[in-house]
Amino acid sequence: MARFLPARRSAGPAPTVGNGGEASSRSLARLAFWRLRRTWGLLSLTALGLLAAVTILCTVPLYSALTLSLGLQDAFHSRPQSADILVQSSAEQLSLSGLSHASTLLDQEFRRLLGSYLSTANLSIATSPVPLLDTRTQTLSGSEAQLVAEPAASLASHAALLTGRFPQATLPSPSSDILEIAISSQEASQLQAHPGSTFTVQFAYVEIPTQRVVYNVTLRVVGIFSPHTDPSFWQGATFTTSSRGVSDGQPLGLQSTFLTTTESLLALFDRFGQQTHGLVLEEPFTLSWLYRIDPQKASISDLYLLFANIDQVESDVVNNPGLNTPPLIEHLQVNLPSDTLQEFYDQMNTATIPLFSLVTLVMALVLFFIAIMTDLLIDRQSEAVAILRSRGASRLQIAGMFFFQALLLALLALVGGPFLAIALALSLAHVLLPESEQLTQQLLISQPLQTLLSLGGYALAATLVGLLTMAFTIRRATLSDVLALRREAARTSQVSLWQRLHLDVVAALLMLPGYGMAFYLTNSNVLDAHTRLILLAPLTLLGSLLLVIASLLLLLRLFPLILAAAAHLAAGRRGLAPLLALAQMARAPRQSLRMTLLLALATACLLFSQVLLASQVQRSDDSSAFQVGADFSGALLQSHAPNELARLTAAYRRLPGVLSASLGQSTTFLGGGTQDLPIALRAVDTETFTRTAEWTRADSAVPLSTLMQALVAAQGRAIVTHVIPAIVDVNAAQSLQIQPHQTFTLNSSDGQISLAFQDIATVDAIPTIVSSSLPSGSSSDDIPAGGVLIDYRTYISVLQSQFPKAFVAQEAPLNYAWLRTMDDGSQLAALRQQLSKGALALSPLLDRRSLRAGLLHAPLYLDLIGVLTIGATSALLLAVLGSLTASWLSVRRRLTAFAVLRALGGSPGQLAATLAWEQLLIYVFALTLGIGLGALFSWLSVPTLVFTATSGNAPAAASLGAFYVAQSIPPVQLAIPAWLPAIPALLLGLFALALGMMTSTVSRPAVSYVLRVSED
């Protein structure tokens, strides 16, 4: 062994600094590789932990990029106009060269900043309404026509041709005044036109007030078409013929919109412009350049840059002097995409706060495993280290040997982690995101080198943190010698650093301000819903984590005392096995503590992750039931008088698949005196609402049937006193400062009705009402300050006692319906069709089952599933490997003691019983501690980590403010997974495996061999 140490030279020239450093490095490398051959098993497990840390930290951003990019594409597809950037200007002249130059300048500006995201630009021209001439007299007919010109190449993809053909891109001849057009089928019927029909329109050029030149343009119909639904492309053009109205009792004529091509219109008016020598159009045209963001080219990582570049290109275009050239281009403005992308971006940021908090927890657990495995690795080599120290090795050489091994492991993790992360992300996407194959190909597979380079920062960060953890643990090795080694092996005497620094007290003190701030944010009205949502999750998670750490450290402080007391009790009872087990654990509790902590934290992590997943699924159930209020609900297409309640209820009840129907009114009143706070009001039919509505325990602890009975019971008194019994939610109670059984007043929005209500019950939430007593955090939202539920019949009776029936029918009509249906797929499909059109249609139609499916497949939810799956699986596997390794090493170090017991007459059964007691105590303690910590952490933090996704036209998706408010409405419910008893069964199996391995290790070698080998 001495050959690995630098040789001492008594004579000869001293080596240079460079040669000495090189020789020392070589000796450290030889020593590290020599020990590597003897501890490859532990080094492999340590490498596995470090590799898991790098893989997890690299997988999370990859998988999150997949899920969030999928959500971004869904946002594009749900609202296509969210991908549109529209540049508009007015033009008093049309010049082919001028517009070509302007289009080139625009393309340069857009391509410079947004070129990688854009599809081909589209230039359209819309004329102002111009007079139609009578075909017989060639005089003004009183009718008008507007021309909408689109590029000829784009017509076939945005319209269906019914008869004839689309207009051509060229004029019939260079000098022709004939323009080809296409009309819709409605216009063909209204105007009695067909392919071959002609119209004459009149355009005027003027120089006010001296000159006016008129051009008559013949419009020849060449086709009849039906436009596809695409409001952005058609610029709002409906292609219908309608009446212009009446003036002085005389009809003004008709208003029509015709389709032509941009190219032919430009050619015609370019010639007119050259002929008029500087005159301008009497009625300017509107020029529109439509740029569309290609959803396939935009990923979630580009979203922030996309927003910044869109703002920049808007400023550059508006301030470009080449794009302000009257009369060709003037009043230029840029219409940016709708708020859909910004809302998705804000939702993503909100949801990723708990997501990355969970990643931090998982990483902390993995790093704890790395520290334990490094500690075991050092313990395994402690005798060799002590011998090296006693033979002259310096602390720097010992630390260098271990650190060299750590560098090798770090290099392996740094290189292999990103590759494993890509494979893991692909596997998760294949299982959880089957519809994302094209996106996966685009983001991960098409550019593998770029993907690997993008993970470099995450891999390096995880490697450095793991290396620092190992370096901190390695520091212990530099303090060991033979005397200290044997003394610590016999009885632990060193006081841990955290005990000397009283970190348990520090964690407890830090916990108090964290929870104080979280409590303040939860119960005060200082912050809006958005800010509160952003701050609450990290603060609660931090406070919970500090509480768990303080509890763990306090337990670690008491653990040796508990073991000593248990050993003292065992000494007074019969049986040698429990006494030996407790005595050994009490003399040297560090090994038992390591195993207990590792198993307890893994159990707590597994329990916490499964409670979070179960609660998230429960949240999807509760949220979908809350937002719909029944299986189906929605507003009626037209309002109905109160006396039609029975007829309409029966009509909906007769629909196939409908089990129960309930109708009522959905409206908004104003309350709070001069504050005019909006209060959402739901007036329901109590006779049918109980068996129709979905009312979960998240909405109210009181059953719906009890609440409806209370409304019915107070009906008679209400008609006499004109005070309507009401069920209010907590937000209404806070906003209006209502106490139980207190009377309050609400007014209709037009001020014609003022009614008194009495709070007979307060509930957490009223389904279909997303309300908040706090500001929503979005200035453009109008979120109700609370919700009120009343009986519709009582409401009508009180109104009719004060107002005429006709007025009541107008102010309190039936306008909302709730339906409970069978759970049959074919009947539900047919029912959805019937509720989407016809006299009984609901708009918007809210479907609880479809909404639940959408929430469970929301990208942010799938992102959470992937992260929790990775974290829980990694923590469990590493804990199993670590505990088995620690158990095996514990027995290996005590082989001599067990051999002595066998030499003194101890039977293999007694040794096995001693090991069984020792392992049983560790596993029972770890199970109890893990379940306790997991339950505590889940109870404290899960309600703030669960989030509510949005889907379709649900109330929570109505606006960004509604999304913020919906995170806490209705209150989050904790859900316990049904398979929770499997955790003790899993630990029991692990206990049996560890016991069998330890018993085999103890009983296999001969006593004489063990004692002879260990005689030193």
String of DSSP letters for 689-735? HHHHS---TTT-SS-HHHHHHHHHHTHHHHHHHTEEEEEEEHHHHHH
Largest CA distance in the chain: 130
Per the CB < 8 A criterion, the answer to whether 631 and 848 are in contact is yes
Task: Look at residue 934 in the predicted model and tell me its pLDDT.
Answer: 86
Q: Report how far residue 452's alpha carbon sits from residue 419's, in angstroms, rounded to the nearest whole number.
A: 7
Per the CB < 8 A criterion, the answer to whether 177 and 227 are in contact is no
For residue 573 the two structure tokens come to 């009872």
Task: Look at residue 660 in the predicted model and tell me its pLDDT.
Answer: 94
Q: Report how far residue 411's alpha carbon sits from residue 50's, in angstroms, rounded to the nearest whole number.
A: 10
In terms of phi and psi (left: phi > 0; alpha: psi -120 to 50; beta: otherwise), the region of 474 is: alpha
- On whether the pTM is more than 0.85, the answer is no
Task: Look at residue 1015 in the predicted model and tell me its pLDDT.
Answer: 47
Name the strand (E) or helix (H) holding 152: helix 152-158
Q: What is the DSSP string of 140-206?
A: EEEEEEEEEEE-HHHHHHHEEEEEE-PPPSS-SSTT--EEEEEEEHHHHHHHT--TT-EEEEEEEEE
SS3 1007: helix
Q: Report how far residue 676's alpha carbon sits from residue 736's, in angstroms, rounded to the nearest whole number.
A: 10
Per the CB < 8 A criterion, the answer to whether 563 and 524 are in contact is no
Split the chain (1016 residues) into runs of 10 and give each run's mean pLDDT: 39 44 58 63 72 81 79 73 83 88 87 79 88 82 89 89 91 88 91 90 84 89 90 81 76 87 92 86 90 76 78 84 85 76 73 73 74 70 68 71 77 86 81 69 71 81 77 64 50 55 63 65 62 72 75 75 75 69 70 78 84 88 90 91 92 92 93 85 93 87 91 89 92 89 90 91 90 62 86 93 89 93 88 88 89 82 79 76 73 68 69 76 82 86 81 68 78 82 75 71 56 50
Task: Look at residue 1004 in the predicted model and tell me its pLDDT.
Answer: 61
Q: Tell whether omega for the bond before 209 is within 30 degrees of 0, i.e. cis.
A: yes
Instruction: List the one residue out of 562, 561, 563, 554 whose CA is nearest residue 498.
Output: 554
Task: Look at residue 51 in the predicted model and tell me its pLDDT.
Answer: 82
For residue 985 the two structure tokens come to 């069964």
Q: Report how far residue 130's alpha carbon sits from residue 142's, in angstroms, rounded to the nearest whole number.
A: 10
The CATH number corresponding to 83-127+284-337 among 3.40.720, 3.30.70, 2.60.40, 3.30.1600 equals 3.30.70
The domain locations on the chain are 36-79+340-485, 83-127+284-337, 129-229+252-282, 629-849
**Which residue carries 């602390």 as its tokens?**
395
Radius of gyration, CA atoms only, the chain: 39
What dihedral do alpha carbons 545, 550, 556, 558 form, nearest 10°?
-150
How far is residue 629 CA from its own chain's centroid?
A: 24
Per the CB < 8 A criterion, the answer to whether 668 and 680 are in contact is yes
For residue 152 the two structure tokens come to 């000829």
Q: Which amino acid is at 847?
A: D
Q: Report how far residue 590's alpha carbon sits from residue 9's, in angstroms, rounded to the nearest whole number.
A: 43
Q: Report how far residue 237's alpha carbon sits from residue 235's, in angstroms, rounded to the nearest whole number.
A: 6
Instruction: For 799-856, write each residue's pLDDT tens digit.
Output: 998 888 889 888 899 999 999 999 888 889 889 988 988 888 898 889 999 888 888 8
Instruction: For 857-873, write each residue's pLDDT tens digit.
Output: 877 778 778 877 777 77
